């Protein structure tokens, strides 16, 4: 993407400019971590749900901007957001807790991978380790929904597997990820297969 943007090619340049000019690309973004993220059914805002989604997207956007431009201010902002959340002991509760935790977990992991593996990211090892710990414990345990289960099963099940590749790259070989059935599977940890900058 960096090469396309530098050369001014479309649609990459427009995508980059839209990302840069979005609220998530602003240096002024301030993280709002919550100790308990409450995500009840039928309430997309919840208590901390909207804030966590916004912060995860902001961290990812800043990380992408850093990978394209090389500007360390973007890496610093991404680190600030991720450090704020990983430094706040927390849990997810409510009917949509698993969906929230898994969706944001996939975005957090992508942001973390970019900053961690891009030259000049400047993320201290201790903070990286703390962030890995957050990803390992981000998702509450849940029953094994199936397609025929009543309630949230028909839409929740595909979401459950979404963070698997990106989360496992950050958390390394000791981690596990979840299949669509909810059972633990060996992680994949190949960066080239999950590089979010491509």
* Residue 54 within any structural domain of the chain: yes
* Residue 149 within any structural domain of the chain: no
Question: How many folded domains does the chain comprise?
Answer: 1
* Residue 180 within any structural domain of the chain: no
* Residue 59 within any structural domain of the chain: yes
Beta-bridge mates of residue 38? 47, 93
Query: What global pTM score does this model have?
Result: 0.74
Tens digit of each residue's pLDDT (9 = 90 or more) over 50-92: 999 999 999 999 999 999 999 999 999 999 999 999 998 778 9
Q: Measured at the alpha carbon of residue 149, what is the angle toward residues 146 and 150, in degrees to the nearest 5? A: 150
Tens digit of each residue's pLDDT (9 = 90 or more) over 5-31: 999 999 999 999 999 999 999 999 999
* Residue 129 within any structural domain of the chain: yes
H or E stretch at 58 = helix 49-69
Range of the domain at 72: 2-138
* Residue 79 within any structural domain of the chain: yes
* Residue 69 within any structural domain of the chain: yes
Check residue 184 and report its DSSP letter: E
Contact 91, 140 (CB under 8 A): yes
Residue 38 tokens, joined: 């409450």
Three-class DSSP category at 38: strand
């Amino acid at each position: 993407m960096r090469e396309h943007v530098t050369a001014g090619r479309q649609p990459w340049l427009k995508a980059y400019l839209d990302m840069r000019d979005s609220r998530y690309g602003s240096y002024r973004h301030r993280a709002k971590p919550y100790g308990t993220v409450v995500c009840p059914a039928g309430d997309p805002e919840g208590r901390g749900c909207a804030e966590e989604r916004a912060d995860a997207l902001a961290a990812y956007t800043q990380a992408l901007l850093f990978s394209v431009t090389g500007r360390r201010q973007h890496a610093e902002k991404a680190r600030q957001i991720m450090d704020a959340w990983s430094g706040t002991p927390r849990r997810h509760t409510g009917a949509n807790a698993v969906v929230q935790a898994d969706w944001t977990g996939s975005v957090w992991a992508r942001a973390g991978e970019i900053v961690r593996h891009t030259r000049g990211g400047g993320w201290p090892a201790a903070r990286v380790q703390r962030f890995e710990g957050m990803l390992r414990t981000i998702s509450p345990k849940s029953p094994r929904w199936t397609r025929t289960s009543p309630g949230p099963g028909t839409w929740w099940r595909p979401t459950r597997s979404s963070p698997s590749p990106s989360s496992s790259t950050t958390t390394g070989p000791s981690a596990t990820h979840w299949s669509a059935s909810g059972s633990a599977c060996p992680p994949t940890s190949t960066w080239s297969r999950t590089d979010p900058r491509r």
